[in-house]
C-alpha cells in the first residue's frame, strides 16, 4: 500500500484532541523500559541522558513517561491544538513542547540521544522523517524507537467483540486510517529502515477497563469522519448495524451502537486489550 500524499490533520479540531487525551491508552511501562534498555546497550551511562525528542507527541502521553531518564525532552507535533493540550498537562520542568512537522525538525545535527515516535509515523512522510531522524541522532549511540498499538479487542463479551471488530473494520476503516491500519498489520515491516539493523517485537499489551460511553468517546478520537456512522453524542439517533448471533445467522439490531453494546454485555463495563508492537534502531558511527 502506498502512503497518502497529504496527511489528514484531524487533531486540529479541539474536541477530537480532547477525546484523544482522555480516552486513548497510555503506553505500557514494560515497553518504556525496553526502549531504555535498548538505548543503554553498550554504554556505561550512570546519569540521565541529555536529550530525547518525541515526534508526533500529541497531548504528551508518551513524552511524560520519559521524564525520569533525560535532562531535556522536547515533544514535537504538527497540530497546534495537540501542543496546547500537552503544555496544559505538563508538570515536568525538563519537558517542553514545540509546534513542528516531523519532516523538518528545528534541531542541530547529531545531538539527540533518543527519538520516540508513538502511534504517529503513519501521519508523516516516512522517508523524509527517517532522514531527519538520521540527521539529528548522535552517531554510534543515538537510537530511535517506533511503537504503536493495533485495534483493541473486547475481552469480556464475544458479541461485544463482534461489534467492536465490525466498527473498526467498517466505519473506522476509512481512507484516512487505511495506511495506519496497513502499518499495524505489517508491524512496520513496510518501512524502509535507514540503519543496518532493526529490533522488532510485539509482546506488550495494555488492558483497559472503560464504560461504554467512554468507549464511544474512544471511537471519536479517529476523527470527524466517524460522525457519519456513529450516532454520538445524540443518543436518540437510530442506526442499524449487522451482528452475528450465536448461531452465526446474520440479523439486524436497531439502535445506537452504545445501546447494542449494553444489550450484548448486559452491563456498562468493557475490558479492552491493546496489542502493541515496536521497532528500534541505532544510528551507527558511520553510515
Phi and psi torsions of 205, nearest 5°: -135, 160
pLDDT tens digit sequence for 197-221: 789 998 788 899 999 888 888 887 8
Whether the Cβ atoms of residue 81 and residue 12 lie closer than 8 Å to each other: yes
β-sheet bridge partners, residue 153 = 273
pLDDT tens digit sequence for 19-71: 888 999 999 999 999 999 999 998 877 789 999 999 999 999 999 999 999 99
Kindly give the residue spans of alpha helices, DSSP state H, lying in the chain: 14-23, 29-40, 80-89, 126-136, 158-169, 175-186, 212-219, 257-265
| Third-level CATH fold of 10-282 | Rossmann fold (3.40.50)
pLDDT tens digit sequence for 110-139: 999 999 999 999 889 999 999 999 999 999
Whether the Cβ atoms of residue 157 and residue 265 lie closer than 8 Å to each other: yes
Per residue, the 3-state secondary structure of 127-171, as one string, reads: HHHHHHHHHHECCCCCEEEEEEECCCEECCCHHHHHHHHHHHHCC
| Distances, alpha carbon 272 to alpha carbons 54, 68, 106, 156, 205, in Å | 26, 28, 38, 8, 10
pTM: 0.86
| Distances, alpha carbon 275 to alpha carbons 114, 199, 208, 215, 279, in Å | 23, 17, 11, 17, 14
Domain ranges in the chain?
10-282
Return the C-alpha cell found at 119: 502511534
| Residue 283, Cβ density class (10 Å: 0-12 exposed, 13-18 middle, ≥19 buried) | buried
pLDDT of residue 4: 56
Amino acid at each position: 500500500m502506498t502512503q497518502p500524499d497529504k496527511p489528514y490533520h484531524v487533531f486540529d479540531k479541539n474536541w477530537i484532541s480532547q477525546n484523544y487525551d482522555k480516552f486513548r491508552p497510555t503506553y505500557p511501562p514494560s515497553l518504556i523500559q525496553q526502549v531504555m534498555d535498548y538505548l543503554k546497550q553498550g554504554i556505561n551511562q550512570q546519569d540521565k541522558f541529555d536529550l530525547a525528542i518525541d515526534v508526533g507527541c500529541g497531548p504528551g502521553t508518551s513524552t511524560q513517561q520519559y521524564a525520569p531518564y533525560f535532562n531535556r525532552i522536547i515533544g514535537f507535533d504538527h497540530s497546534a491544538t495537540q501542543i496546547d493540550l500537552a503544555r496544559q498537562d505538563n508538570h515536568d520542568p525538563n519537558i517542553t513542547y514545540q509546534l513542528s512537522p516531523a519532516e523538518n525538525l528545528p534541531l542541530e545535527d547529531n545531538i539527540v540521544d533518543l527519538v520516540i515516535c508513538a502511534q504517529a509515523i503513519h501521519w508523516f512522510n516516512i522517508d523524509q522523517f527517517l532522514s531527519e531522524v538520521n540527521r539529528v541522532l548522535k552517531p554510534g549511540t543515538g537510537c530511535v524507537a517506533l511503537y504503536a498499538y493495533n485495534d483493541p479487542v473486547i475481552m469480556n463479551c464475544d458479541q461485544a467483540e463482534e461489534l467492536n471488530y465490525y466498527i473498526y473494520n467498517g466505519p473506522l476503516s476509512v481512507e484516512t486510517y487505511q495506511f495506519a491500519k496497513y502499518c499495524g498489520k505489517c508491524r512496520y515491516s513496510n518501512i524502509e529502515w535507514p540503519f543496518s539493523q532493526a529490533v522488532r517485537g510485539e509482546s506488550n499489551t495494555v488492558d483497559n477497563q472503560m464504560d461504554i460511553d467512554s468507549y464511544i468517546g474512544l471511537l471519536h478520537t479517529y476523527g470527524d469522519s466517524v460522525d457519519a456512522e456513529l450516532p454520538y453524542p445524540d443518543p436518540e439517533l437510530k442506526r442499524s448495524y449487522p451482528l452475528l448471533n450465536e448461531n452465526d445467522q446474520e440479523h439486524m439490531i436497531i439502535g445506537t451502537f452504545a445501546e447494542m453494546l449494553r444489550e450484548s454485555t448486559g452491563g456498562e463495563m468493557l475490558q479492552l486489550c491493546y496489542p502493541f508492537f515496536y521497532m528500534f534502531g541505532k544510528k551507527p558511527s558511520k553510515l
